[in-house]
Structure 1
């Protein structure tokens, strides 16, 4: 080790406080980088495990393949595992549940039994094609008491809807007509005798409204003949973006008609066939990582800049005894290397420990609130640690580069006299007479102090600006990410939906007053049409009209209308939410409604989610409603006028149970009484009851036990739970990140201001020596705080706006909606900046206010 490096080490040891402050700053920065890297990996690991627990592990599904096609898939170099499956329905004799008259055979081979989540309650899974494991729900809900060892005969086939000419799946509820008669048929393909060898829990892939209870069967590849077809589920050896082209190539070569992908799981692996989504993810990652690195550089740079300022005299002494510019520059780089060697390992450990502690807290919260099956686990990969180390090293190097260049240029005389930081001239410290006249002498002195030490002033302002940009950028990112998630998920706000062509008052009251029901809404719905003037259609529709105006009818665009009538209590609550009085709607001569003007829909052609206005209209305008009347042959139709409806309010709030229509559609919300007057007998209506309940499964069972034949029950609690869980998880992580960013920013500001004040001891002693009173001194410090805050906001807010625009622009690749400034966050930042600056100033002054004037005048930065 050369003499310069030895002196640098000695200087670090002798100035323990400054060295410790710098080390702590670097540790915080490294901890943030490592925490973010680990957080990302751990979160994706959770989402992968949660998806596997619900849907099983598979990447590509080839539908209805024969044995020769199966061999080609199995021999493909990309195939790691291959699971086989087929299915069918059989009548469940003796079922007391009229909405579930079938058993649903889901057959797997040996690999499929392990790849898909099947929970055995008793016995075992089948090992041959004449064995089955039945769902425990058959005994619970169908009152059919099968036992292990029973032999059963089933006629198995497919559900078929003759009217529509389509086969039906587990996602389709039982088809009935108005009288409750089943309108679908079972097309028998084989008869089979099976032995029950076990019972299973209701699988996650079985919707609560499906008409069949799941029975797990067994298939063996060697028993398949040339005419048999199965579904092939492939687990790939390596998951990469080329899998889409590769799978389509195999399907094309082998004549396979349909290929499906496990899109959710692949997305968690970072693979998607949507180029817009990929661009969104990459650009967002780049922006957020840039924000993190800039924040880290700001924190570490300030620490080293202050270090060089304090070491000025030491560097001058080295220069006076012959140290070259290169040696002085390298001494700063060496200091950075030493501090990095100490800080990086500690920072990484601290970051991992912080994330692990956070996971312990979050897991307890999530398990209690949502009952998640999987827990967050700390996943530390070599790649994440290496990335954190590499970013930290690069950050430290960038942070030390400018101070090192500055150190190399310090002359011996200036350094020993310590005049290099302050360059005075009359022009440099000139202030406006307005400042003294309005704010007083103390404000003028405070402003001159700021100007005379411009480098330290800029360092503090820079820290404040970075803090503003970090906080507002992450806050905006959080709000937009939540909005994007909500746009991509169906906005399910209820647990159970009950639908019927007609429900009487007694039935509705019975459903809404059940034991476990906590909230209910009754909606009557009619599907109508309206002709909307070209000037009032949404901007997205105007683009279509401009390309092809043949879609217009007499200059008007045909909208499809969902007219929805809420029960009186629900309509009052909804009107209050929208900001209008429900009573006013009943006083109008013309039927008056609330129109949902904001919609979000998926544009499949552009591969993005779009939020736009459904209609460009105003309160008070009227909409003419029509009913479409079809001929007996359904070949021709005409419009029949129903009624005019006045727009009483335009809103983006959606009542419980209502899905907004897509482009070219409109939701019109009225009260139940208005609905009766509007429609009367001029249009068909359906009745829906939406329930929130503290026990969805028990509620569903109670409804099905006492429901009429024409009632359909949909329990969407699990799907709603998944949506809420995803949004909650993202919120917890991102708000945790905001908290971390905020703490780091505050630490950065306190460190910068505290050190800056410490370096001004001589200046403050001089002011007190010429008669400045404590009151005047405090007034001067307060004005300095205001100058810092105003300057930081003047730079920070415009820069934050540019970053927010960049984030919004990157999201527009997949999600299209209007840009909205986060006014609450902006006002919060403005208030907090002044609080932080003021607190930092007062804290720093409190440490030196009792210092002796003589000692302060003699003080030197050593």
Structure 2
């Protein structure tokens, strides 16, 4: 051996068990980095694909562009690709009968097709979804909305030819063409007629799926798409351009610069929240697909991008800090137990620099072995997770693919290597600073405690016996080793609390959607559904539950102190009319889902209780306080509108009623309404109550909607058949089938929970293995110490009790400090994300309890195997052998 560093390989081979424990620590760290990186990339890929499907595969749209300006925008250097759409015209497919107009005074005079010309890029960018057939490829081919088919005189099928009278909707009184600049459809009015311009024959080549975000006008206006390559553009028409930029950087500035360079002004700007949204336009409107852009950190809201970046950086630092602690602990314990060896090397001439090089070479060798294994185990762990997800065949995560990217693997390996060297710095410095004389005189890992041993804490009291006193003194005698082991446990608790908080945040902001199968509405003359219809519904096969829906808009005086100040800052314009030390507001709704609907509200209560009799006696209401909103700065905020408490009084009266106010009493609060997993997105204050209270307040006990929950195990043909018979009898009725939507919503909620808690399971498993590794290493390296205790008469049972009590002390200590640090970091991450997602932060009590108990249990389990090993070791072998 020519140099001291040659001792590294001999030591690692000679102390195989200790080396393996160190390698396991590094493997755990790299596994965590690989798993988190792969999971993040895979989840982002799924979100991107889902967002493209829901909102479109474009980044910016230019709406209302004149024909002469289309080529000038599409051919801009900054634009990578663009799809162009224009409105060809309306076509009537049926007229509304006199009977239907009489029964439903809000019916449109016709049922229209809104025919639009898409080029191939537009169909791709707006993700036209087909139910059957194919997309149009020629100007004489068309695809129809599935909802429109039954309104044709003769229901068309794929392959049929149809002839449409294309034209305009005009004001009947003036003959003026209705101004429509949006790609979507506005409503209609009674002063309307249709003016045909030309006949056009089309071949039906496909049927479109119904869009998720349909508008109320979809019952009378249906989409139809034909092909137009836009090689010849009419300069007198307005067009809609959906573009993908060559680079997402500074997308807002680039879009504005494009219009500025063309001398186009009067630009209105907005954010595309959904496909086919209806917008009142100026000359031109720019919309940014921020739902897609924010997934790449390129949102037009700078604060959202910064907040996401800061939160991501904080999470990465927490992971690196935790993994660094795992490896640091392993190295530190190893160095402490080898102080005498380093002291001997110092005695024969080794310099501090050479000692440091020995430790760093050891770190390098172990890294070269452990990092590839960590990359492999992290990948396999994710492969197993994704395989299990694919076997579930449920909603949102059905087509989630495992994305293995070389940059992620390289980053995990690089970060792992950095973490190893950073972790080795402290132990290397400790080893190089060893005094030869002190090192030879003692083991270096044990320092005799200074002070009065008679002053014992509760941990060393007689209540726990002399084993408890021994355990307490061992901890106090070896404070460094205690801190190292406890620190490892603290880190595990911190990881669990922080990532548990992130899971709760994602779960809070994810909406599970509706919770009913059908809805029956009535818009006829008398504005009410007779009780006989409800009574018939509840007897039908397949109906699990039916809820009559009563709703009345109210004026209310909301006391100023009951308005959440944070919400007030966001919506000051709502609070302008002051009255009686409060604000008079009209955006209040008194609603009821029937007596049985109150049962659906019980799990969502945040305070108070539900007692229908009490509510009837006191005019009791349950206030829905939370609301989901997007601020002007693009922040997704879930916030309480009000701060009502049980017992508060609210003055209300019906809209238009000039009589005195009546008083309702708050008997409870909830975050969400019945039959929905979503937070309301409307700036309304909703008060849930009983039908009797609605009659007391408004004098009206009518309802015009019924929600139905169907039995998923029963054929629902009877339900749909009854709905159709109602529509034939009275055109004021219409119904919506939400079976698939509800199933999808439940599947999405279930799979999201599986995904999130699967991730928590990975974190918990790695935290457990971290504790297992550290505690086991600590005990194995104390073999001589336990041999001495057995030599002086301590039985194996007494040693076992002492070790287990030490584990409990470690766990209690780690639980206190881990909970404090984890809670602080959890709040910090939530604070950093406040500009992107703002949810009221709550103390993570459940994570604290589970993490603390888990750490104590893991410590006791980790102590079991080393104790069994120690039982089999003879005293002489323990005193003589190295660990």
TM over 0.5: yes
SS of 1:391's equivalent in the other structure is helix
Structure 1 partner of 2:256: 248
Please give the alpha-carbon distance, in whole angstroms, between the structure 2 residues aligned to 1:247 and 1:511: 54
1:427 to 451, 468, 482: 451
Say whether residues 1:804 and 2:826 are aligned partners: yes
User: Are 1:160 and 1:166, in contact at CA under 8 Å, matched by a contact in 2?
Assistant: no
Equivalent position SS for 2:422:
helix
Quick check: 1:315 aligned with 2:335? no
Matched, 1:446 2:468: no
**Counterpart in the other structure of 1:632:** none
Query: Which of residues 800, 810, 814 is equivalent to 1:792?
Result: 814
Q: Do 1:431 and 1:444's aligned partners in 2 also have CA atoms closer than 8 Å?
A: no
Q: In the alignment, what sits opposite 2:288?
A: 261
Aligned to 1:228: 237
Q: 1:810 to 1:515 in 2, by over 3 A?
A: farther
> Does the Cα contact within 8 Å between 2:528 and 2:704 map onto a contact in 1?
yes
Instruction: Determine if the alignment matches structure 1 residue 553 to structure 2 residue 579.
Output: yes
1:387 corresponds to 2:406: no
Deviations 1:288-328 (A, max 9, x none): 21221111111111222233234445434433332221111
- The answer (yes or no) to whether the contact 2:771–2:855 under 8 Å persists in 1 is no
**Alpha carbons of structure 1 residues 54 and 813: separation in structure 2 relative to 1, 3 Å:** closer
Taking structure 1 as reference, are residues 71 and 787 closer, same or farther at Cα in structure 2, changes over 3 Å only? same
Identify which of 720, 723, 726 aligns with 1:706: 726
TM-score, normalisation: structure 2: 0.85
Q: Does 1:582 align with 2:611?
A: yes
Correspondence for 2:696: 677
SS of match in other structure, 1:227: coil
Of 307, 324, 332, the residue aligned with 1:305 is 332
> For residues 420 and 5 of structure 1, do their structure 2 counterparts lie closer, same or farther at Cα, with a shift above 3 Å needed?
same
Matching of residue 129 in structure 1 with residue 155 in structure 2: no
Q: Alignment RMSD, CA only?
A: 3.7
Q: Give the Cα separation in 1 of the matches to 2:599 and 2:137.
A: 59
Is residue 397 of structure 1 aligned with residue 414 of structure 2? Answer: no
SS at match of 1:467: helix
Matching residue of 1:178: none
Deviation at 1:422, TM superposition (A): 1.2
Change (3 A) 1:700 1:7: farther
**What's the secondary structure of 1:92's corresponding residue?**
strand
Give the one of 219, 224, 241 matched to 1:215: 224
Q: 1:696 to 1:295 in 2, by over 3 A?
A: farther
CA drift of 1:344 comes to 1.7
Query: 2:79 matched to 1:79?
Result: yes
Residue 63 of structure 2 contacts residue 285 of structure 2 at CA under 8 Å; is this kept in 1?
yes
Alignment of 1:195 onto 2:202: yes
TM-score (norm 1): 0.87
Shift of 1:685: 6.5
**CA offsets per residue over residues 546-587 of structure 1, 9 Å max, x none?**
999963124321133211122122235546864635343266
Question: Residues 159-198 of structure 1: matches in 2 within 5 Å?
Answer: 183=190, 185=192, 187-188=194-195, 190-196=197-203, 198=205
1:813 aligned counterpart, secondary structure: coil
- The question of whether the paired residues in 2 share the 8 Å contact of 1:332 and 1:404 is answered with yes
Q: 1:120-159 maps to which residues of 2 (within 5 A)?
A: 125-135=135-145, 139=149, 144-146=155-157, 148=159, 150-157=161-168
Tell me, yes or no, if the aligned pair for 2:575 and 2:585 is still in contact at 8 Å. Answer: no
Which residue number corresponds to residue 499 of structure 1? Answer: 521
Counterpart of 1:689 in structure 2 is 706
1:788-811 deviations in whole A, cap 9, x for unaligned? 122212321211121122123223
1:463-612 to structure 2, matched below 5 A, reads 463-486=488-511, 492-500=514-522, 501-510=527-536, 516-540=542-566, 551-560=577-586, 561-574=588-601, 578=605, 580-585=609-614, 588=617, 590=618, 592-596=619-623, 598-602=625-629, 604-605=631-632, 607-612=634-639
Would you say 1:655 and 2:674 are equivalent positions?
A: yes
Change (3 A) 1:145 1:225: closer
Measure, in 1, the Cα distance between the counterparts of 2:590 and 2:780.
70
For the 8 Å contact 1:530–1:625, the answer to whether it is kept is: yes
Q: Distance in 2 between matches of 1:781 and 1:459?
A: 16
Q: Tell me which residue corresponds to 2:272.
A: none
Inter-partner Cα distance in structure 2 for 1:606 and 1:113:
31
How many residues end up aligned between the 2 structures? 836
Cα distance in 2, alignment partners of residues 788 and 138 from structure 1: 69
Cα–Cα, structure 1 residues 308 and 586, in superposed 2: closer, same or farther, change >3 Å? closer
Distance 1:594 1:542, change over 3 A: same
Deviates more, 1:742-751 or 1:270-279: 270-279
Question: For residue 238 of structure 1, what is the aligned residue in structure 2?
Answer: 247
- Is contact 1:120-1:198 (8 Å) kept? no
